[in-house]
Amino acid sequence: MKKVFVRLFIFLFVGSLSVFAQDAGHQYVGAQKCKSCHKKEKDGKQYLIWQEGPHAKAMEALASPEALKIAKEKGIADPAKDPACLKCHSTYASLKPERLHPKGKLKLEEGVSCESCHGPGADYKKKKIMKDLEKAKANGLIIPDEKVCKNCHNSESPTFESFDFDKYYDKIKHPRPEKK
């Protein structure tokens, strides 16, 4: 009997550790909250580049004729409402309510938002923290690499063909301009 409890304890404890190692439970705020500081031309207008790119349009993609055709083949009634599609097409969709910051603005419609790649932003988005890369990382900021992309760009995606990081990154990049 005792052994079972010990195992259960180890299971719960180690289980929760592995989750927190990835994102320590920070809350999500949505792209609108990043916009205020990341939209100016001189800083690299990351918000505007994202807004024009494929990730901000990932929910629109689920309403396309192609999406409806894929869904039909899989017996899914509405891809824009089905977790099997939403899990990669919307940051918002798979979050439990407690992961949404009360003053945040993250919505289903914003598709693959900043925080799917950069980590939940409630704690790092303050200017004082953002200015210091190490502090920002300690508060949940992720500087994403190829591995982050492959969470979604993989063969589980019904339209997946291949993923070449350099080629794909080039299409979505939003660097800060070189300081002169």
Residue nearer to ligand HEC on the CB measure, 47 or 100: 47
Give the Å distances, CA to CA, from 153 to 123, 147, 170.
Answer: 27, 9, 15
Q: Which two tokens stand for residue 138?
A: 């300690």
Q: Count CB atoms within 10 A of the CB of residue 105.
A: 14
Report the residue closest to ligand HEC, judged by CB. 121
Kindly report the number of other CB atoms within 10 A of residue 176's CB atom.
11
Q: Can you tell me which of 26, 34, 110, 140 binds ligand HEC, judged by CB under 6 A? A: 34
Distance CA 52, CA 88 (A): 18
Task: By CB under 6 A, name the binding residues for ligand HEC.
Answer: 29, 31, 33-34, 36-38, 44, 46-47, 50, 54-55, 57-58, 61-62, 64, 66-67, 70-71, 74, 76, 79, 84-85, 87-89, 112, 114-118, 121, 125, 127, 130-131, 133, 143-144, 148-149, 151-154, 156-160, 168-169, 171-172, 174-176
